[in-house]
């Protein structure tokens, strides 16, 4: 099991190949899910807000089903990159292409705030995530299934206002998962949670990613979180990808292990040395 | 032990009922003190008749059918005026909250009109409509329009933009976005407008009926003044107070039904 995982993990090898390469198939089997992830190619991506050029040419390939974390100082453009991938903002120059025909339901975003409708019960909030399938007959059943996946089946008839911060974020995750997305973008989804809730949410994210096999893109300012969850960590500085680090540690990963701590330290020193230069 | 149980058990059932009666202690006490003051001659009946006299006058008017007819006329004017002014205000609030063009076109005009006290229009309204129903309906509708317009507009403009973005990401059409996000988000503010409007509705109607009417509670009070029937005057005032309380309670019930998601309306 462990060795099999190891062979599948050198993601830098995978990065150059198309998703139908034998290697990629191994990855999918390891995630024990149908082939749902979408590969992602970004070429020469630029974005400015007024005179402020936030992204200055991003080139990136993410293979199907990979878990990528994007770290960087605040204002480096990491959230902007995520919003462009999710289609929330318009691209100035360059292109983002997915390996397949994309439906709106295929790409979902989870924000730092849960953004639940306070006037809808938990189950109805999850149903919102079905997109155009909201009116279908199995909407209830699918939403309930998503609630079970995030461990909140007993809260289906509650108002969001009675839930804790972590529970609200789990409902938001259920809403993002209910349409079985092929790309899931996380914009610091755990930033507002306390330390213990964070860790249990990180485990939940990792579990649903392994179950469903979507391509995950996580923007975070927490380097420890990035190395604990991701196959690959991208460090963004001044609108460009400054480092592309592969996390070659088998799962399930032990938090606080020497390997993870070493990686975290080297990424942090990259970020801090950039700080010294300015 | 068994005695304590049998005593404490029914008490837990009685408590909520006592709780809902508490609000009536002060009005009842005022009536009792007022009655005593009248009987002892501390308050001359020329100034203020005893509550028993007011009740007697009410009973006589009730028997003659005059009271119910006037209450019905006033109630009808209030509700029709409220419906007309309220729905126009709501429509403008929606239009200006949702469309920049509509807001640019009409908001400045409406804000100017708002600053004219609508009761100042009474002379003009009498010249236009005489003293028939349309004059009263016009004034009530005008008075009710602004609180509902302003609060609907405010409610729609202050809906959390993050929720609207969420709705768009999840593929809601414009209609669905309105039904699922914008309208429910604006509802608490709309209710504030409705409760303001209910107060203005009665105020406008009383003034309008007192000045120019041939039926209704205000007219009844003015007629009674002509004949020095002070008990009927006091009776009309008390009925206005009760009708106002009734309207407020009705809007509270509606609020509780539609805003049960709101933390402020949740028990515990």
Confidence of residue B213 (pLDDT cuts 50, 70, 90): confident
- ipTM, two decimals, is 0.78
Residue B179 has pLDDT above 80, yes or no: yes
- CA dist A85 to A66, A108, A178, A222, A233, Å? 15, 10, 20, 21, 17
Contact B261 A161 (CB under 8 A): yes
Q: Given this model, what pLDDT does residue A11 score?
A: 39
| A69: three-class secondary structure by DSSP | strand
B185 reaches A (C-beta below 8 A): yes
Please return the burial class of A190, using the count of CB atoms within 10 Å of its CB with bins 0-12, 13-18 and 19+. buried
Structure-model confidence comparison of residues A33 and A271, the more confident one: A271
Q: Look at the domain A2-102+182-277 and name its fold.
A: Rossmann fold (3.40.50)
Mutate to test the interface with A, among B160, B169, B176, B179 (most CBs of A within 10 A): B169
Residue A160 has pLDDT above 80, yes or no: yes
> Strand A183-187 to strand A240-246: parallel, antiparallel, or no bridges (unpaired)?
unpaired
Confidence of residue A16 (pLDDT cuts 50, 70, 90): very low
Q: Given this model, what pLDDT does residue A67 score?
A: 95
Q: Given this model, what pLDDT does residue B15 score?
A: 54
Task: Estimate to the nearest angstrom the gap between the alpha carbon of A21 and the chain centroid.
Answer: 23
Q: Given this model, what pLDDT does residue B81 score?
A: 95
Q: Given this model, what pLDDT does residue A184 score?
A: 94
Confidence of residue A185 (pLDDT cuts 50, 70, 90): very high
Q: What is the value of pTM for the model shown?
A: 0.78
Contact A115 B266 (CB under 8 A): no
Q: Given this model, what pLDDT does residue A216 score?
A: 95
- Phi, psi (5° rounding) for residue A113? -90, 145
Contacts of residue A159 in chain B, CB cutoff 8 Å? 260-261, 266
Q: Please provide the size of chain A in residues.
A: 278
Percent of chain B past pLDDT 70, that is, above it, reads 93
Q: Given this model, what pLDDT does residue B167 score?
A: 92
A159 reaches B (C-beta below 8 A): yes
- Mean per-residue pLDDT for A97-108? 84
Q: Given this model, what pLDDT does residue B263 score?
A: 83
| Cα dihedral B107, B113, B116, B120 sign | negative
B167 reaches A (C-beta below 8 A): yes
Contact B169 A159 (CB under 8 A): no
Domain segments of chain A: what residues? 2-102+182-277, 117-181
Q: Given this model, what pLDDT does residue A256 score?
A: 80
Nearest C-alpha neighbor of A14 from the set A246, A260, A229: A246
B173 reaches A (C-beta below 8 A): no
In whole angstroms, give the CA distance from residue A38 to residue B241: 67
- Mean per-residue pLDDT for A149-174? 92
B81 and B205 Cβ atoms separated by less than 8 Å: yes
How many Cβ atoms from other residues are within 10 Å of residue A109's Cβ?
25
Of A119, A161, A175, the CB nearest to B184: A119
Confidence of residue A120 (pLDDT cuts 50, 70, 90): very high
Q: Which residues of B173-205 are buried (b: 16+ CB within 10 A; e: fewer)?
A: eeeebbebbbbbbbbbbbbbbbebbbebbbebb
Count contacts between A and B (CB, < 8 Å).
49
Domain segments of chain B: what residues? 73-257
Confidence of residue A22 (pLDDT cuts 50, 70, 90): very low
In whole angstroms, give the CA distance from residue B81 to residue B200: 11
Contact A128 B180 (CB under 8 A): yes
| Cα dihedral B94, B98, B104, B105 sign | negative
How many Cβ atoms from other residues are within 10 Å of residue A200's Cβ?
14
Chain A CA closest to residue B181: A117
Q: Given this model, what pLDDT does residue A42 score?
A: 93
Residue A15 has pLDDT above 80, yes or no: no
Q: Which helix (H) or strand (E) holds B92?
A: helix B66-98
- Mean per-residue pLDDT for A179-190? 92
Q: Given this model, what pLDDT does residue B141 score?
A: 95
Q: Given this model, what pLDDT does residue B1 score?
A: 41
B165 reaches A (C-beta below 8 A): yes
- What's the start-to-end Cα distance of chain B, in Å? 31
In whole angstroms, give the CA distance from residue B48 to residue B38: 8
A135 reaches B (C-beta below 8 A): no
Please return the burial class of A37, using the count of CB atoms within 10 Å of its CB with bins 0-12, 13-18 and 19+. buried
Residue A8 has pLDDT above 80, yes or no: no
User: Which residue matches tokens 């236009």?
Assistant: B128
B264 reaches A (C-beta below 8 A): no
Q: Given this model, what pLDDT does residue A275 score?
A: 63
Residue B10 has pLDDT above 50, yes or no: no
Residue B244 has pLDDT above 90, yes or no: no
Residue B150 has pLDDT above 70, yes or no: yes
Q: Look at the domain B73-257 and name its fold.
A: MetI-like fold (1.10.3720)
A155 and A122 Cβ atoms separated by less than 8 Å: yes
- On average, the pLDDT of chain B sits at 87
Point out which residues pair with A40 in neighbouring strands.
A62, A98
> Strand A52-62 to strand A93-98: parallel, antiparallel, or no bridges (unpaired)?
unpaired
Q: How is B8-37 classified by DSSP, letter by letter? A: HHHHHHHHHHHHHHGGGHHHHHHHHHHHHH
- Mean per-residue pLDDT for B23-33? 90
- Mean per-residue pLDDT for B17-40? 87
A112 reaches B (C-beta below 8 A): no
Mutate to test the interface with B, among A103, A115, A158, A181 (most CBs of B within 10 A): A115
Contact A159 B165 (CB under 8 A): no
pLDDT in tens, A125-155: 999 999 888 888 888 899 999 999 999 999 9
Contacts of residue B171 in chain A, CB cutoff 8 Å? 104-105, 131-132
Contact A111 B181 (CB under 8 A): no
Chain B CA closest to residue A178: B170
pLDDT in tens, B68-125: 999 999 999 999 999 999 999 999 999 999 998 999 999 899 988 888 888 888 888 8
Contact B261 A159 (CB under 8 A): yes
């Amino acid at each position: 099991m462990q060795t099999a995982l190891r062979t599948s993990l050198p993601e830098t090898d995978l990065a150059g190949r198309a998703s139908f390469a034998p290697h990629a198939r191994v990855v999918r089997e390891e995630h024990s899910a149908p082939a749902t992830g979408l590969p992602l190619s970004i070429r020469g991506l630029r974005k400015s807000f007024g005179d402020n050029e936030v992204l200055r040419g991003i080139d990136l390939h993410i293979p199907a089903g990979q878990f990528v974390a994007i770290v960087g100082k605040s204002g480096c453009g990491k959230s902007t990159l995520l919003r462009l991938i999710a289609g929330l903002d318009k691209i100035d120059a360059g292109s983002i292409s997915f390996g397949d025909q994309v439906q709106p339901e295929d790409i979902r975003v989870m924000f730092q705030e849960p953004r639940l409708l306070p006037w809808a019960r938990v189950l109805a909030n999850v149903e919102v995530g079905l997109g155009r399938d909201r009116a279908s007959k199995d909407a209830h059943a699918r939403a309930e299934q998503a609630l079970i996946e995030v461990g909140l089946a007993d809260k289906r008839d509650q108002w969001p206002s009675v839930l804790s911060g972590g529970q609200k974020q789990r409902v938001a995750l259920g809403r993002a998962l209910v349409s079985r997305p092929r790309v899931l973008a996380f914009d610091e989804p755990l930033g507002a949670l306390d330390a213990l809730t964070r860790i249990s949410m990180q485990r939940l994210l990792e579990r649903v990613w392994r179950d469903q096999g979507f391509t995950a893109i996580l923007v975070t300012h927490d380097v420890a979180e990035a190395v604990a969850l991701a196959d690959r960590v991208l460090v963004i500085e001044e609108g460009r990808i400054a480092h592309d680090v592969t996390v070659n540690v088998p799962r399930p990963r032990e938090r606080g292990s020497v390997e993870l701590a070493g990686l975290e330290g080297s990424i942090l020193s990259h970020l801090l040395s950039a700080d010294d230069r300015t | 032990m068994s005695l304590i149980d049998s005593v404490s058990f029914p008490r837990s059932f009685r408590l909520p009922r006592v709780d809902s009666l508490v609000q009536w202690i002060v009005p009842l006490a005022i009536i009792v003190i007022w009655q005593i003051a009248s009987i002892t001659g501390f308050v001359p009946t020329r100034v203020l008749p005893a509550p028993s006299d007011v009740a007697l006058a009410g009973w006589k008017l009730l028997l003659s059918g005059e009271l119910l007819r006037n209450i019905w006329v006033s109630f009808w004017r209030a509700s029709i005026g409220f419906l007309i002014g309220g729905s126009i205000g709501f429509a403008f609030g929606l239009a200006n909250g949702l469309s920049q063009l509509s807001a640019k076109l009409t908001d400045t005009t409406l804000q100017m009109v708002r600053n004219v006290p609508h009761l100042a229009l009474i002379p003009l309204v009498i010249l236009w409509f005489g003293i028939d129903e349309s004059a009263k309906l016009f004034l009530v509708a005008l008075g009710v329009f602004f609180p509902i317009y302003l609060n609907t507009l405010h409610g729609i403009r202050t809906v959390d933009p993050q929720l609207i973005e969420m709705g768009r990401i999840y593929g809601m059409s414009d209609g669905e976005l309105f039904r699922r996000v914008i309208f429910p988000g604006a509802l608490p503010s709309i209710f504030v407008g409705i409760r303001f409007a209910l107060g203005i509705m009665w105020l406008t109607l009383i003034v309008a009926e007192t000045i120019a009417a041939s039926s209704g509670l205000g007219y009844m009070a003015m007629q009674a003044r002509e004949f020095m029937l002070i008990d009927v005057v006091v009776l009309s005032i008390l009925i206005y107070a009760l009708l106002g309380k009734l309207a407020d309670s009705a809007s509270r019930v509606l609020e509780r039904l539609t805003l049960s998601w709101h933390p402020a309306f949740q028990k515990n």
